[in-house]
Structure 1
Amino acid sequence: MRSHLTTNVIRKKYLTTAVQIGLIMGMSHAAYAVETTNNTENDEAATPSATLDTITVYSDGYRSTGTKTALDPEDAPMSYTRIDQELLQKRQADSVNAALRYEPGVTSESRGTVTIFDEYNIRGFKTYSNFYDGLRLPYDGAWNLMPQVDVYATEAVEVVKGPASSLYGYAAPGGMVNQVAKAPKSTQENEVQLRFGNQNLKEVAVDSTGPITDTLNYRLVALKRQKDGQMQTTEEERLLINPSLEWQATDDVSILANLFYQDDPEMVPSTPLPAVGTVYKASYGKLGSDAYAGDEWNKFSKEVFMPSVTVNWDINDKLTFKHITRYTDAEAQQRNIYNSAGYVPGSDTILNRIAYTTDENMNNWTTDNQLAYTFDTENTSHNLLFGAEYQETDSDAVYYNAGANGTPNLDLSNPDFSQINTATLPLNTYRQTQDIEQSQLGFYVQDEMKWQDLTVVAGLRHDNFESTTEQTEASQGAVYSNKTFGNDASEISGRFAAIYDFDNGLSPFVSYSESFQPVTGSNFITNEAFEPTTADQLEAGIKYLSPDRATKGTFAVFDIAQKNVVVSDYVNYTNQTQTGEIESKGFEISGSRMLNDWVDVAASYSYTDAEITEDEFNPETVGNMPAQIAKHKATLWADFYPSDKLTLNAGVRYQDGMQIDRLNTDELPSVTLVDIGGNYQINPMLAVGASINNLFDKTYVGACYDINNCWMGPEREMSVSLKASF
């Protein structure tokens, strides 16, 4: 019989409360975590052979992504998933995109060969910007600089489905992804990991935490990774340094200082390929998974520096306060190529291209202040949350474009990746500079009410968003346009949700929620500034958790409608209006089960029916499905424990129903991918692991924006790791 540890941290709001962690032998991973404070008798009955170890952990007030309160995600009236670090390492997920591969309702890796940003669709809506410890990572909505946090520096990746603007303001309609930072612990734990793999992967990672004094804990997370990019001649390189300190200033106050630094001197830019040669056969056949339409000249680098301070204060037994402030300083330099209009007329081998560069800088600071008050009335308990959030972003970008006439074409049947000469490339054919200043001030209130087995969450938030863009355009050094435009918004977003817990483990829930997203730019016909896009969702579902916590499941149906969508024509994407509407309906079902003492299984299926319901600029698209969304997605994941020391895992991913463009001229072929892995515990301190993603090295097109812009899916990735824990 296996000896498998499951850890469940029972978080308390009191900063100095000792927390009991039950390490339950014979149970599965996080899906079966047990609250030892309430279920000890049941646990002993269900697992008579379990042995319990007790350690002491000092924890600040736990706040879940879904409600910013201590409400257990299992009891939250919404679709909510938590992917912990253990599972991330099993799947060797190096990015948020990879972490979401098994999440229902999410079309991840829209540009599977690209590493400069995380891009995915949740319930039919594009999401570019992740959250990190509850604060949105800054993005100006116009360029390519989007700070990323490597998943090794996160304790978990949490996914909340549907609009969340009632708590977070600026948020996408389909949902949000929050990366929970690794925090200092009061017990000494050290980990050193080496990883090697195909694509010349070389990686070393360190995670060390423990006490410095009785009131001061530290954590140091560091990583260095190098590998070849999937596309020919491209490379990836990353340096991560993330130290943090937590000081228990008094019995009631803790202060956490976090310093995050990530340097990516080599990243893979977004260089698309045409559908002919990828989706369809060209005269030379089909391109391989490493196909590239760029040049050795191409390059993308990014550097991000983010210090933050978090204060948790238990004012008294009923009143708590949380403050977090983060500053971001980021910059990115890019040299890239895109194909301007597909192949040269009459050819299916010679590709028209345009070379360009961007130089981007961004400064942002944001603060969130939360005051929570708990009180009881007759038969009812309340957890009132008051919040004030402010963020300010100043970004600038300089864009140079060589034009089609100044950029050499590429013969995809016999590519030459060393054609561009930096000295002679006419990048001054077109120049654009933008200076964007943005600010957002939001006030929110939420009441989490509980009547016996009924929990209701109701919230409202008011946001004022201001954006000013100064833009200059020039050709051959001669300025021909100077203009300033602003995008201001004042929005109120709400949420009302309820869940009822029956004694048999079933918990039906229903919710209504709203979102808004500010949009930069203006209508090219009227020159009027764009208004924010808004959306609302109706969701209903049911959750199940068995008494022995060995089986859990969630079923949800949803209907999301988004208005004021920015649309553009096919000839010139800069010709934009705001006359679009999109509706997305569907359902998601997921579940996990411990079949016996050596097999755990998790499965999911989602159906996403997104539809363009209004587009005055392109009426031919009305009734069509937007591109880059999988209508059907199914996953299966299993963990096997054949012995005390050996763990094996395997997964299958399937997606289908993705359109090649918004005209719905064709549908991409369905794809089924297999992942496998395993871990062997050599001794208590040393373990070796291995994983293979896309086991059979399936060559496929991951997504297309249109017939001239497609991206291959990730090829087979193999890695072996050696981890020392002490």
Structure 2
Amino acid sequence: MKFCRDHFPKNRNLLTSTILAGAMATGFTPCVAFAQDATGGTTQLETIVVQGSGKTISEDNDTVVPTRAVSALKTDTPLVETPRSISVVTRKEMEQRGATDMVQATRYSSGVSTGGFGYDPRFDQITIRGIETTESGDFRDGLRQPVMNYGAFTTEIYTLDRVEVLKGPVSVMYGAASAAGIVNKISKLPLKDAHHEIEVQYGTIGRKQAAFDFGGPIGESDELFYRVVGLVRQGESNYDIQDDRYLLQPSFTWEPTDATKFTIYGLAQDTETESSAWTFENDGEIYRVSDPDYDYQKVRQYQLGYQLEHEFDNGLTFRQNARASDLDLRARYADRRTMFSAPAARWPTAAVTDNVHSFQIDNQLQAKFDTGGISHTILAGLDYTGVNSDFADGYGDTLPGEIGSAPSPTLTGFTSNDLRQTGLYAQEQAEIGNWRFVGGLRYDWLHQETRDKVAATGAQKDDGALSGQVGLLYLFDNGLAPYVSYGTSFVPSTQRSANGGVLDPTKGRQIEAGIKYQPDGENYSLSTSVYRLVETGKPQYAGYSAPLFLYENSGENTFTGFEIEGRTTFDNGISLIAAYTYTHGEITGNLDSSIIGNTPTTTPRHMASLWANYTVAEDLIIGGFSIGGGIRATSESFTDDINTAKNAGAVYFDASLSYDFGVKSPDLKGLSLAVSATNLAGRQEQVCNGGYCYFGQGRTVLGSLKYKW
């Protein structure tokens, strides 16, 4: 029996141990998966102005060639002056391509791999530079969305202004975070101008969605602003996998002066999907392991936070950002793999609950000043994160004919995990003529604790982690900017070692060199990078000692790669986004010495993508139309670390078409219609990872009618 996040090979500390224990006790087939837990700091969203461009974050979202990222250094530094690799997906790009989730939003970015675990709406599955980041690289508005056991926060793309992918270690700014980098999702927050939007969608397999986005000044006030985003979605998706969601995201801003700004925001989200997308094959046909009539995963998540910023007269700026988050997960699952070989055999069932509570706060003090010919931007910060997860699981079985009315198994295993992290960090940015220097250090105090509530046993550990980064860039007058950088990372774990203690944190280090090109005032950009990334101390399953499963910090993977990403818009309405990624992954440390030198599972050597969009000039007879098309190609990858079999390479085609009625009919200003399609050829590849296989996403078509005023 298998009830874990089966598509995460590193995944699930206590989930692994408790579920494996239950599986062995009932004779089920266990899954072995590993977990990494992390947390981090925050960053400020609006309304920073891009140096040299005069753009605010809102204006920077109205293009597919952004000039800045709010996440990289937590300061107002243009992309071309930041010595690290960053991909930014703006709201305009998401709408052009008709992206409906985080996977679709990021799949045209260099260094990013999606679909390595098939189609699965339970989680936002994104891999950066060969390392899966869902557990330790998921950030929203600069704050980590923590994962401890099984439950994970998911983000609705309609609630976002942009997505920023930071590649490589960022622990110096964010604390515990993946060695591969983070995906920071920037929420829609209040704007000063009034805006209203209503959208309805209908798509493949009866997908139905309605959404709204209202905001602007409150009454006649020039100090108070609001924004409310809401959405309701119902409908099946591919392979009888449910994808229902209801959410409300209100936010309010008080800006009494140009120097002070306070924003409070909240989120209530209710999602229902399936608890497993795992598959099996019979007589050439592929079936889901779990029965759709029994399977479900219901998640309610709530977030409440604020962002405070005040600029002093002496060049100092203080920011304080905080958020409390709560997640409640209920799921159950049935294993029907014997439905053909033994039709009368009882089907194993499993149930799980996970309650996650977290609080995070980040205090930042920024100073800008000059000394001689050097311009300084110094950022100092103190942040705190506390996360608790209460997890429970249980197992049973049922007859196939009774699956529709079978109850959930009784919960029998109860565990709890706690993580407390306090971080102190400082960063210096210096401009010396055309030179740009960045250096930073951070130290974190960690307290990790895990408890088995049934056995009344547990372990705890107090630890520390030092992180750093350094980067050097030279900005030529023509916008060409070569750079080099080095950074380190850490991710704490709550898994148990053979001596009964908690494992040491997983660590990472990377050296990167690259060239950026983005002339001031031009609508095109190009970035290239080469890197060597090492992740050490990965938790690995080391044996079973009742009632515990044991692990060792013995895993190590090394990735070397090359990436290039280009973006441009032309005056004739054409825009292009192109990316190529080369990744060479190697297992350089493992308990199983026979696989050292092999390639990590589902790590394609080559990935390439191209998206082109054409917006017809308004004065032409077909003015108002916009058409786009894209191609994504991925090379083959290994199905497991043993490297005995491969997933096939694949090529996918996407397309979009939209029409703005207001271009030719002023009375219909604000009304638009769009149709988008992914995987036009309808390829339904089966993707295998670590011994488990999943469906790739089939063809999807979505129509959207939107009205803005």
TM-score range, shorter chain: 0.7 to 0.9
Q: 1:407·1:420 contact (CA, 8 Å) conserved in 2? A: no
Secondary structure of the 1:231 match is helix
Deviation at 1:23, TM superposition (A): 12
Q: 1:113·1:231 contact (CA, 8 Å) conserved in 2? A: no
* Gap change, CA 1:456 and 1:28, over 3 Å in 2: closer
User: Is 1:646 matched up with 2:646?
Assistant: no
User: Is 1:459 matched up with 2:444?
Assistant: no
Q: 1:113·1:268 contact (CA, 8 Å) conserved in 2? A: no
**Aligned ranges 1:331-410 → 2 under 5 Å:** 331-337=328-334, 354-402=348-396, 406=397
| Cα distance in 2, alignment partners of residues 609 and 669 from structure 1 | 17
**Aligned ranges 1:172-191 → 2 under 5 Å:** 172-191=178-197
User: Is 1:483 matched up with 2:457?
Assistant: yes
Q: 2:632·2:652 contact (CA, 8 Å) conserved in 1? A: yes
Q: 1:553·1:589 contact (CA, 8 Å) conserved in 2? A: yes
Deviation at 1:421, TM superposition (A): 4.8
Give the letter aligned to residue 620 of structure 1: S
| Cα distance in 1, alignment partners of residues 342 and 406 from structure 2 | 27
Look up the match of 2:33: none
* Gap change, CA 1:376 and 1:398, over 3 Å in 2: same
Q: 2:660·2:671 contact (CA, 8 Å) conserved in 1? A: yes
| Cα distance in 1, alignment partners of residues 307 and 168 from structure 2 | 27
Q: 1:295·1:417 contact (CA, 8 Å) conserved in 2? A: no
| Cα distance in 2, alignment partners of residues 348 and 670 from structure 1 | 35
Q: 2:504·2:537 contact (CA, 8 Å) conserved in 1? A: yes
| Cα distance in 2, alignment partners of residues 85 and 171 from structure 1 | 25
| Cα distance in 1, alignment partners of residues 58 and 194 from structure 2 | 17
Look up the match of 1:329: 326
Secondary structure of the 2:646 match is coil
Work out which of the residue numbers 276, 300, 305 in structure 2 matches 1:303: 300
* Gap change, CA 1:315 and 1:228, over 3 Å in 2: same
Secondary structure of the 1:87 match is helix
Give the letter aligned to residue 516 of structure 1: F
Look up the match of 1:506: 480
| Cα distance in 2, alignment partners of residues 125 and 349 from structure 1 | 40
More deviation in 249-258 or 687-696? 249-258
| Cα distance in 1, alignment partners of residues 66 and 502 from structure 2 | 50
Deviation at 1:422, TM superposition (A): 2.4
Give the letter aligned to residue 265 of structure 2: N
| Cα distance in 2, alignment partners of residues 250 and 544 from structure 1 | 37
| Cα distance in 2, alignment partners of residues 176 and 575 from structure 1 | 28
Look up the match of 1:694: 679
More deviation in 541-550 or 530-539? 541-550
| Cα distance in 2, alignment partners of residues 417 and 454 from structure 1 | 72
Q: 1:295·1:418 contact (CA, 8 Å) conserved in 2? A: no
* Gap change, CA 1:146 and 1:422, over 3 Å in 2: same
Give the letter aligned to residue 237 of structure 1: D
| Cα deviations by residue, 1:515-547 (Å, 9 ceiling, x for unpaired) | 000011112x33232000001000000011246
* Gap change, CA 1:272 and 1:453, over 3 Å in 2: same
Look up the match of 1:588: 563
Work out which of the residue numbers 668, 686, 689 in structure 1 matches 2:647: 668
| Cα deviations by residue, 1:481-533 (Å, 9 ceiling, x for unpaired) | 3311124320010000111111232110110000000011112x332320000
User: Is 1:75 matched up with 2:73?
Assistant: no
| Cα distance in 2, alignment partners of residues 593 and 250 from structure 1 | 37
| Cα deviations by residue, 1:79-120 (Å, 9 ceiling, x for unpaired) | 011111121122232221221111221112333332222122
| Cα distance in 2, alignment partners of residues 28 and 434 from structure 1 | 44
| Cα deviations by residue, 1:216-248 (Å, 9 ceiling, x for unpaired) | 01111111111203223x322111101111001
Deviation at 1:354, TM superposition (A): 4.0
User: Is 1:223 matched up with 2:243?
Assistant: no
Look up the match of 1:712: 695
Look up the match of 1:116: 122
| Cα distance in 2, alignment partners of residues 315 and 63 from structure 1 | 24
| Cα distance in 1, alignment partners of residues 142 and 57 from structure 2 | 27
Work out which of the residue numbers 532, 552, 555 in structure 2 matches 1:559: 532
| Cα distance in 2, alignment partners of residues 159 and 349 from structure 1 | 48
Secondary structure of the 2:637 match is coil
User: Is 1:238 matched up with 2:271?
Assistant: no
Q: 2:50·2:77 contact (CA, 8 Å) conserved in 1? A: no
| Cα distance in 2, alignment partners of residues 351 and 712 from structure 1 | 25
User: Is 1:252 matched up with 2:236?
Assistant: no
Q: 2:289·2:335 contact (CA, 8 Å) conserved in 1? A: no
Give the letter aligned to residue 387 of structure 2: T
**TM-score, scaled relative to structure 2:** 0.86
Q: 1:488·1:531 contact (CA, 8 Å) conserved in 2? A: no
Deviation at 1:374, TM superposition (A): 0.6
* Gap change, CA 1:310 and 1:443, over 3 Å in 2: same
Look up the match of 2:577: 602
| Cα distance in 1, alignment partners of residues 707 and 289 from structure 2 | 38
Q: Which runs of 5+ in 2 are unaligned?
A: 1-45, 619-623, 663-668
Deviation at 1:135, TM superposition (A): 0.6
Deviation at 1:315, TM superposition (A): 1.5
| Cα distance in 2, alignment partners of residues 352 and 445 from structure 1 | 59
| Cα distance in 1, alignment partners of residues 435 and 342 from structure 2 | 62
Deviation at 1:559, TM superposition (A): 0.4
| Cα distance in 1, alignment partners of residues 373 and 344 from structure 2 | 74
Look up the match of 1:656: 635
* Gap change, CA 1:324 and 1:501, over 3 Å in 2: same
Secondary structure of the 1:273 match is strand
User: Is 1:136 matched up with 2:144?
Assistant: yes
Look up the match of 2:63: 30
Deviation at 1:468, TM superposition (A): 1.2
| Cα distance in 1, alignment partners of residues 514 and 420 from structure 2 | 36
* Gap change, CA 1:13 and 1:673, over 3 Å in 2: closer
| Cα deviations by residue, 1:260-306 (Å, 9 ceiling, x for unpaired) | 11111x113233124xx3xxxx5x21327xx4543411110111111
| Cα distance in 1, alignment partners of residues 500 and 603 from structure 2 | 31
Look up the match of 2:495: 521
Deviation at 1:32, TM superposition (A): 4.6
User: Is 1:192 matched up with 2:198?
Assistant: yes
Q: 2:49·2:55 contact (CA, 8 Å) conserved in 1? A: no
Give the letter aligned to residue 286 of structure 1: E
Deviation at 1:633, TM superposition (A): 0.7
Secondary structure of the 1:74 match is helix
Work out which of the residue numbers 84, 89, 92 in structure 2 matches 1:86: 92
| Cα deviations by residue, 1:419-456 (Å, 9 ceiling, x for unpaired) | 36524x7x35x832112222110010000111111111
| Cα deviations by residue, 1:380-422 (Å, 9 ceiling, x for unpaired) | 00000000110111220111123xxx366xxxxxxx7963652
* Gap change, CA 1:353 and 1:418, over 3 Å in 2: closer
Q: Percent identity?
A: 26
| Cα distance in 1, alignment partners of residues 266 and 203 from structure 2 | 30
Give the letter aligned to residue 509 of structure 1: Y
Q: 1:537·1:561 contact (CA, 8 Å) conserved in 2? A: yes
| Cα distance in 2, alignment partners of residues 314 and 502 from structure 1 | 31
Aligned-residue CA RMSD in angstroms? 2.9
| Cα distance in 2, alignment partners of residues 611 and 571 from structure 1 | 28
| Cα distance in 2, alignment partners of residues 350 and 562 from structure 1 | 47
| Cα distance in 2, alignment partners of residues 23 and 437 from structure 1 | 38
Paired residues, number: 646
* Gap change, CA 1:354 and 1:509, over 3 Å in 2: farther
| Cα distance in 1, alignment partners of residues 172 and 58 from structure 2 | 37
Q: Which runs of 5+ in 1 are unaligned?
A: 1-8, 35-61, 409-415, 474-480
